[in-house]
């Protein structure tokens, strides 16, 4: 705690002192970089040695790491100062989560604790609840968990069978049910548990020591084996009425909005893991020789590395942009109702970040194994473990399929209101050097506009039941958001530093925009071809798509070879 407290007392690390519009990683000052350095030292000196020994619940080394993280202040980044935290917001929390992405399964335990295990108290707790629980969670004395999922519900998380009934005296709720796949289940001292009462879904604070609380055996998982995952069993558990979190019957507000925040935090962790996988891949490819030549000297390997870097750049740009915008929007919140409204407004952005980052990570760890060849399949090489650990991220915090449906349905609501793109998503082409890049962005929006016109046909009446179409709509919006985020970041860098200093960002944005446009064009053709049963209407709309004049396609191979030059030298992701 003292390490970060020292940094804060000596510098002006307050949200009000910074402008968060279109925030980029380059906007972090040296003061914030000191927090990054503290996190990296914790990872190197404390986490890595324990990972090498093998994290396990039995030998308590996970809890030791939590206590150390609490000591140096890493558990309180988003917690108000009054309860032992620093209230530094989503951007700094994202920076810490990203670095912790290289912490293997401990990253999962850590991010669940500081995210869904802590933030419900921050945003929805009473003063008494905050005073009781937040100091313990911030110091690492207690570990938090979040219990929403049930075996019968799965993705339909609000269809809870866990029930709560108020006793005759009106002093306690009696809670019964089981919550499945609870991260930190065996470690946690307190759980945020969701159950149904007559008024609707309600959130309860359940302490591990409450009578009737038990935890099932550890699940045997594909990966993240150093984290605890088990069933939380609740048998006639007496919950004091003062342990209702938020409003009675409005637990869904907590569940959905905390999940939105968790999706963004997960995106940052995925980005950190992806950077680590790239580092391991380049380091190996520089050492490993085939045909008397280092692997990294082969252009097909170089292309793989470049694709990794480009995917990271896009995900990183989108995540920090979203975190900055959320911090800015949340600064003036003075009621739970306003909080719910604002966080809900970021639902599409958070879901996009979750889907994009998890799929980028899966692609990157797969290529990391491929670059390692047969050694990548062996457990003594770290990429084998990264490969297994990464797979859960497309399932965590709502499957990617559920998130895509949420993105598409959110987009449909914007269309109904005549808000296809909100003001915060609009960009102006102020930099001549990016004319080509913006050309793809503008044309991509035209393509989506054509798809929206197709919704005026017979499909529009039943679109919410047509999941394949919703998936295409979500994917197009996702690509557009990544293109736009990369461009905003690059434009900001060019204005500040000039073209000569920012060639790599320009190249990465160029690749993202051209390949993104191609992806959106293909999706638009698939959508229109399937959505319009009338041949004449379909033909006219397909001709409209083909008539869009995008910038001339370019040599992606040459651009990607340029992108990786600095990365090869340093064996690190760099822009």
Q: pLDDT tens, 274-302?
A: 999 999 999 999 999 999 999 999 999 99
Same domain as 344, residue 436? no
φ, ψ for residue 552 (rounded to 5)? -60, 135
Q: What is the mean pLDDT of residues 296-309?
A: 98
- How many structural domains does the chain have? 4
Considering only residues 545 and 456, tell me which one the structure prediction assigns the higher pLDDT: 545
The residues facing 206 across adjacent strands are 191
Q: Is the pLDDT of residue 384 over 70?
A: yes
Residue with tokens 């041949």, as numbered in its chain: 535
| Residue-level pLDDT at 3 | 58
Contacts of 242 (CB under 8 A, 6+ apart): 126, 128, 129
Range of the domain at 96: 2-143
pTM over 0.85: yes
Q: Is the pLDDT of residue 480 over 70?
A: yes
Q: What is the mean pLDDT of residues 476-500?
A: 96
Q: pLDDT tens, 402-428?
A: 999 999 999 998 888 877 654 334 444
| Residue-level pLDDT at 459 | 77
- How would residue 15 be classed by pLDDT, with cut points 50, 70 and 90? very low
| Residue-level pLDDT at 275 | 98
Catalytic residues: 397
Q: Is the pLDDT of residue 14 over 50?
A: no
Where does a domain end: 355, 375, 402?
Answer: 402
Same domain as 123, residue 43? yes
Contacts of 395 (CB under 8 A, 6+ apart): none
Q: What is the mean pLDDT of residues 93-111?
A: 97
- At CA 83, angle to CA 82 and CA 87, rounded to 5? 70
The region, left, alpha or beta by phi > 0 then psi within -120 to 50, assigned to residue 551 is: beta
Q: What is the mean pLDDT of residues 136-159?
A: 88
| Residue-level pLDDT at 414 | 87
Does 216 map to a domain?
yes
Assign residue 26 the CATH number of its domain: 1.10.540.10
Same domain as 196, residue 64? no
Least confident of 157-166, 304-313, 492-501: 157-166
φ, ψ for residue 144 (rounded to 5)? -105, 160
Taking alpha carbons only, the member of 422, 428, 431, 366 closest to residue 394 is 366
| Residue-level pLDDT at 421 | 54
Q: How far apart are CA 331 and CA 88, in angstroms?
A: 11
Q: Is the pLDDT of residue 8 over 60?
A: no
Does 571 map to a domain?
no
| Residue-level pLDDT at 155 | 67
Taking alpha carbons only, the member of 264, 269, 270, 258 closest to residue 157 is 258
- At CA 280, angle to CA 278 and CA 281, rounded to 5? 65
Where does a domain end: 380, 402, 424?
Answer: 402
Q: How far apart are CA 29 and CA 454, in angstroms?
A: 47
Q: pLDDT tens, 158-208?
A: 778 999 999 999 999 999 999 999 999 999 999 999 999 999 999 999 999
| Residue-level pLDDT at 429 | 47
Where does a domain end: 95, 125, 143?
Answer: 143
Taking alpha carbons only, the member of 330, 319, 225, 223 closest to residue 272 is 319
- How would residue 58 be classed by pLDDT, with cut points 50, 70 and 90? low
Q: How far apart are CA 39 and CA 45, in angstroms?
A: 10
Provide the terminal-to-terminal Cα distance of the chain, rounded to the nearest Å: 32
Q: How far apart are CA 47 and CA 375, in angstroms?
A: 24
Q: Is the pLDDT of residue 466 over 50?
A: yes
Q: How far apart are CA 88 and CA 76, in angstroms?
A: 9
Cα 478 to its chain centre, rounded Å, is 13
Q: What's 451's DSSP letter?
A: H
Same domain as 386, residue 277? yes
Tokens representing 239? 């919950």
- How would residue 11 be classed by pLDDT, with cut points 50, 70 and 90? very low
Instruction: Find the helix or strand (DSSP H, E) in which 172 lies.
Output: strand 172-183
Q: pLDDT tens, 59-86?
A: 678 999 999 999 999 999 999 999 999 9
φ, ψ for residue 259 (rounded to 5)? -65, -35
φ, ψ for residue 175 (rounded to 5)? -105, 130
Q: What is the mean pLDDT of residues 343-369?
A: 97
Same domain as 523, residue 420? yes
Q: Is 449 helix (H, G, I), strand (E, B) or coil?
A: helix
Tell me the pLDDT of the chain averaged across its residues.
92
Does 564 map to a domain?
no
Q: How far apart are CA 126 and CA 149, in angstroms?
A: 24
| Residue-level pLDDT at 424 | 39
Does 574 map to a domain?
no
| Residue-level pLDDT at 457 | 76
Considering only residues 91 and 419, tell me which one the structure prediction assigns the higher pLDDT: 91
Same domain as 185, residue 87? no
Q: List, as own/partner pairs, every contact residues 49-53 make where C-beta atoms lie below 8 angstroms and the sequence separation is at least 24, other chains included.
A: 50/106, 51/103, 51/104, 51/105, 51/106, 51/226
């Amino acid at each position: 705690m003292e390490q970060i407290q020292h940094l804060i007392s000596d510098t002006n690390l307050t949200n009000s002192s910074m402008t968060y519009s279109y925030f980029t990683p380059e906007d972090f000052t040296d003061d914030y970089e000191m927090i990054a350095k503290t996190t990296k030292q914790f990872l190197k000196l404390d986490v890595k040695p324990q990972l090498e020994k093998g994290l396990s619940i039995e030998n308590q080394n996970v809890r030791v790491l939590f206590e150390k993280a609490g000591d140096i202040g890493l558990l309180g980044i988003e917690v108000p100062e009054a309860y032992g935290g620093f209230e530094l917001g989503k951007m700094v929390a994202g920076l810490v989560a990203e670095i912790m992405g290289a912490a293997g399964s401990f990253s999962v335990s850590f991010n669940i604790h500081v995210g869904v295990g802590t933030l419900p108290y921050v945003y929805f707790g009473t003063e008494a609840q905050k005073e009781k629980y937040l100091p313990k969670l911030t110091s690492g004395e207690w570990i938090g968990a979040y219990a929403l999922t049930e075996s019968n519900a799965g993705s339909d998380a609000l269809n809870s069978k866990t029930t709560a009934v108020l006793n005759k005296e009106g002093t306690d709720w009696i809670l019964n049910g089981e919550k499945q796949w609870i991260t930190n289940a065996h470690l946690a001292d307190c759980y945020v548990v969701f159950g149904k009462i007559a008024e609707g879904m309600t959130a309860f604070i359940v302490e591990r020591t409450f009578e009737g609380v038990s935890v099932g055996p550890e699940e045997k998982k594909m990966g993240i084996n150093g984290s605890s995952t088990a069933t939380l069993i609740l048998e006639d558990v007496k919950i004091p009425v003062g342990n209702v979190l938020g409003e009675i019957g409005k637990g869904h507000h907590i569940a959905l909005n905390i999940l939105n925040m968790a999706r963004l935090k997960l995106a940052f962790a995925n980005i950190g893991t992806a950077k680590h996988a790239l580092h391991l891949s380049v380091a190996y490819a520089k050492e490993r020789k085939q045909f008397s030549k280092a692997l990294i000297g082969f252009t097909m390997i170089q292309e793989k590395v470049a694709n990794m870097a480009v995917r990271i750049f896009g995900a990183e740009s989108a995540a920090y942009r979203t975190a900055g915008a959320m911090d800015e929007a949340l600064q003036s919140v003075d009621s739970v109702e306003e909080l719910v409204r604002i966080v809900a407004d970021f639902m599409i952005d958070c879901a996009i970040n979750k889907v994009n980052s998890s799929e980028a990570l899966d692609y990157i760890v797969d290529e990391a194994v491929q670059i390692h060849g047969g050694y990548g399949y062996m457990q003594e090489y770290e990429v084998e473990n990264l490969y297994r650990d990464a797979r859960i991220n497309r399932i965590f915090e709502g499957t990617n399929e559920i998130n895509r449906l949420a993105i598409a349905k959110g987009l449909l609501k914007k269309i109904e209101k005549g808000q296809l793109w909100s003001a915060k998503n609009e960009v102006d082409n102020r930099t001549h050097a990016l004319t080509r890049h913006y050309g793809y962005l503008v044309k991509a929006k035209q393509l989506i506009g054509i798809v929206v016109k197709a919704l005026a046909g017979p499909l529009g009446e039943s679109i919410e039941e047509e999941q394949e179409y919703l998936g295409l709509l979500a994917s197009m919006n996702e690509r557009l958001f990544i293109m736009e985020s990369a461009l905003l970041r690059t434009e900001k860098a060019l204005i500040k530093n000039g073209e000569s200093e920012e060639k790599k960002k320009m190249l990465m944005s160029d690749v993202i925009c051209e390949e993104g446009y191609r992806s959106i064009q293909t999706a638009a053709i698939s959508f229109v071809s399937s959505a319009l049963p009338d041949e004449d209407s379909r033909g006219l709309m397909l001709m409209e798509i083909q008539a869009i004049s995008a910038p001339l396609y370019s040599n992606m191979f040459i651009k990607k070879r340029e992108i990786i030059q600095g990365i090869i030298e340093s064996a690190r992701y760099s822009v």
